């Protein structure tokens, strides 16, 4: 995406000379401006002692805490160990959601009967807050890793499933018919025409799903966890260690954003035609 | 002898009161270029869908080389107006697509692709992606892909409908030279009278409500182009203009009859 996207027409030569000299800011520069402003505001509020550090610790304290957490840790584990525990759960859940969601999404997008069959189930569980069915999962599957990963898996599954089904269902009919007239079997049609055609949607579904996965992390790590960023934040909250809470939030946001950026890059590389007029 | 034979075709879409197609018969031989001309909604695409095997007719039957047509098949390659190419493949791979599906080995594929791209004037763009090409070039790729596959006839649904007038005229000439070289029968749909007259060995004029054939003629101008006559000379020939006006008049007469 470029910063110029919102400008519909631009005729540089008609600009006055005073404006022509100024170079437009890059997207990254715009982002840095917003991040910088927020941090500055945060610092100003804490420096003015308007708000006690218990409610909002100063940026400096949080940064110092980062050092402590990396070296000596919190709740018997370093920040890296917490992060690793959470990442493992997210990645495991993501892989499972992709392995289940894509084939099932293809079936839903291809066969109306499968769609009619599964639609109510998906639409039933999808809007439920994970905390609502968390007790059931614990009762059925215990308090081990399985329950934690399952909760995140369910959050990622719905968007992957829905996006795949939509992508498969919206592959242009003439493209499929043309392929059939060139001798494509059902399997070849799926492999060479439908799946690549649905790929942009599938990747978008994975991106949205991953976001949903992160947002259930804290709920998942309510289940008798001893490690994980969600667990770290909850324990810190119980003891009012606000700087660890803030730090945990920032780390989750940064890691999630890094993964999102990676996926966007992957999407651009794998589907460069997406968004082109033809 | 004709390859493709359609006998007394009728199609009524589910839930539709009147048929989209009624009593349509036609034949397509090896060197034929049959053009179906008619306004939007007169059942042209429906007819092509039946010939291709995408749509099962409610009445009548289609056969190819004596065998009943019940599904799409490699001997009947289809070219659409747009959207039918695969944007994740480059031009060469798009053209090779049919052969790949049919399990033809790579060396042979490359040979056919090179020859076909040469034929449609795209020898230099094999490595480009289809979304990097102009509309006219994309249609050339579509035609190349249909020829490169082991098709015996081409079914084309308004292949030049989305092109500007200038490109369109170039593509008509390209189609005639391809038709001459590749020696395939072609069934082509258009709503452009000039295009129909210029290309057709046999022209069938269709009319809506229900979609049917109302007139058949053999213009013969494409043969004159093949014999070396200039396009502009053909299209400004009094005989060409007279036929064009006659077709226009009968199309308008149809309209008025419907309105009455
Ligand atoms: N899948 C369909 N279901 C119902 N009606 C259709 C369908 N496809 C086409 N029709 C109708 O059949 C008639 C002929 O359509 P079509 O063959 O697409 O005409 P043309 O290609 O000449 O514009 C039109 O009235 C159209 O609305
Ligand atoms: Mg049509």
Q: Is the pLDDT of residue A156 over 70?
A: yes
The span from the CA of B27 to the CA of B8, in Å, is: 11
Q: How much is the average pLDDT of B216-229?
A: 95
Average pLDDT over residues B134-149: 95
Strand partners, B90: B129
ipTM score of complex: 0.94
**Looking at chain A, how many residues does it have?**
278
How far is A192 from A170, CA to CA, in rounded Å?
15
Tokens of B19: 């048929």
Q: Residue A20: is its pLDDT beyond 60?
A: no
Model confidence over B173-203: pLDDT tens digits?
A: 999 999 999 889 999 999 999 999 999 999 9
Q: Does residue B149 sit at the A interface (CB-CB below 8 Å)?
A: yes
Contacts of B4 in chain A (CB under 8 A): none
CB within 8 Å: A179 and B73? no
Q: Is the CB of B20 under 6 A from ligand 1?
A: yes
Encode pLDDT of A207-232 as tens digits. Answer: 999 999 999 998 999 898 999 999 99
B134: contact with A, CB 8 A cutoff: no
B155 to B47, B152, B162, B186, B197: CA distances (angstroms): 10, 10, 17, 6, 18
Lowest mean pLDDT among A10-14, A88-92, B121-125, B131-135: A10-14
d(Cα B40, Cα B107) in Å, to the nearest integer? Answer: 43
- The gap from C-alpha A257 to its chain's centroid, in whole angstroms, comes to 7
pLDDT of residue A218: 87
Render pLDDT for B99-114 as a digit per residue (tens, 0 to 9). 999 999 999 999 999 9
The DSSP secondary-structure symbol of B189 reads E
pLDDT of residue A14: 59
* Mean pLDDT, chain A, whole residue set: 91
At A21, the pLDDT band (50, 70, 90 cuts) reads low
pTM comes to 0.88
Asked if B3 and B64 count as a contact pair (C-beta separation under 8 A), the reply is yes
Residue contact A183–B74, C-beta within 8 A? yes
pLDDT at A1: 44
Q: What percentage of chain A carries pLDDT values higher than 70?
A: 91
Measured in Å, residue B43 CA sits from the centre of ligand 1 at 6
Instruction: Answer whether residue A268 shows pLDDT above 50.
Output: yes
pLDDT greater than 90 at residue B82? no
Token duo for residue A259: 């993964």
Cα–Cα distance measured from residue B88 to residue B119, given in angstroms and rounded to the nearest whole number? 23
Which chain B residue lies closest to A194 (C-alpha atoms)? B86
Q: Contact B63/B69 with Cβ under 8 angstroms? A: yes
pLDDT of residue A6: 59
């Amino acid at each position: 995406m470029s910063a110029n996207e919102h400008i519909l027409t631009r005729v540089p030569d008609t600009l006055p000379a005073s404006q022509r000299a100024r170079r437009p800011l890059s997207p990254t520069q715009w982002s840095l401006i917003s991040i910088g402003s927020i941090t500055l505001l945060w610092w100003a509020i804490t420096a003015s002692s308007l708000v006690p550090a218990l409610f909002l610790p100063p940026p400096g304290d949080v940064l110092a805490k980062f050092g402590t957490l990396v070296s000596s840790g919190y709740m018997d584990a370093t920040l890296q160990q917490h992060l690793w525990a959470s990442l493992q759960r997210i990645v495991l859940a993501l892989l499972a959601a992709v392995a289940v969601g894509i084939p099932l999404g293809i079936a839903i997008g291809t066969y109306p009967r499968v769609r009619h069959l599964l639609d109510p189930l998906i639409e039933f569980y999808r809007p439920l807050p994970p905390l609502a069915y968390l007790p059931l999962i614990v009762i059925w599957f215990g308090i081990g890793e399985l329950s934690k990963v399952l909760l995140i898996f369910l959050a990622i599954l719905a968007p992957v499933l829905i996006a795949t089904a939509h992508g498969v269902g919206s592959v242009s009919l003439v493209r499929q018919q043309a392929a059939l007239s060139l001798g494509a079997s059902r399997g070849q049609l799926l492999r060479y025409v439908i799946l690549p055609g649905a790929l942009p949607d599938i990747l978008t579904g994975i991106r949205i799903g991953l976001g949903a996965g992160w947002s259930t992390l804290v709920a998942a790590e309510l289940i008798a966890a001893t490690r994980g960023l969600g667990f770290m934040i909850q324990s810190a909250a119980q003891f009012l260690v606000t700087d660890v809470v803030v730090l945990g939030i920032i780390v989750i946001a940064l890691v999630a954003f890094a993964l999102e950026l990676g996926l966007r890059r992957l999407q651009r590389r794998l589907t460069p035609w997406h968004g082109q007029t033809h | 002898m004709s390859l493709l034979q359609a006998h007394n075709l009728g199609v009524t879409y589910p839930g539709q009161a009147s048929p989209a197609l009624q009593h349509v018969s036609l034949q397509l031989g090896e060197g034929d270029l049959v053009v179906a001309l008619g306004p939007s909604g007169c059942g042209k695409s429906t007819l092509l869908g039946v010939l291709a095997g995408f749509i099962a007719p409610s009445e009548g039957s289609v056969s190819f080389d004596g065998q009943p047509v019940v599904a799409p098949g490699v001997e009947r390659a289809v070219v659409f107006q747009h959207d039918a190419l695969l944007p994740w493949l480059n031009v060469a791979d798009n053209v090779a697509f049919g052969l790949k599906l049919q399990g033809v080995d790579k060396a042979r594929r490359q040979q056919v692709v090179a020859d076909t791209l040469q034929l449609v004037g795209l020898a230099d763009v094999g490595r480009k992606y289809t979304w990097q090409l102009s509309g006219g070039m994309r249609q050339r790729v579509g035609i190349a892909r249909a020829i490169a596959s082991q098709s015996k006839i081409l079914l084309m649904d308004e292949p030049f409908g989305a092109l500007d007038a200038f490109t369109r005229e170039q593509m008509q000439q390209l189609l005639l030279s391809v038709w001459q070289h590749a020696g395939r029968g072609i069934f082509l749909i258009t709503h452009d009278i000039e295009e129909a007259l210029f290309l057709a060995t046999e022209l069938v004029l269709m009319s809506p409500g229900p979609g049917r054939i109302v007139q058949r003629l053999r213009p013969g101008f494409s043969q004159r182009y093949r014999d070396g006559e200039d396009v502009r000379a053909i299209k400004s020939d009094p005989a060409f203009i007279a036929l064009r006006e006659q077709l226009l008049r009968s199309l308008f007469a149809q309209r008025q009859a419907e309105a009455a």
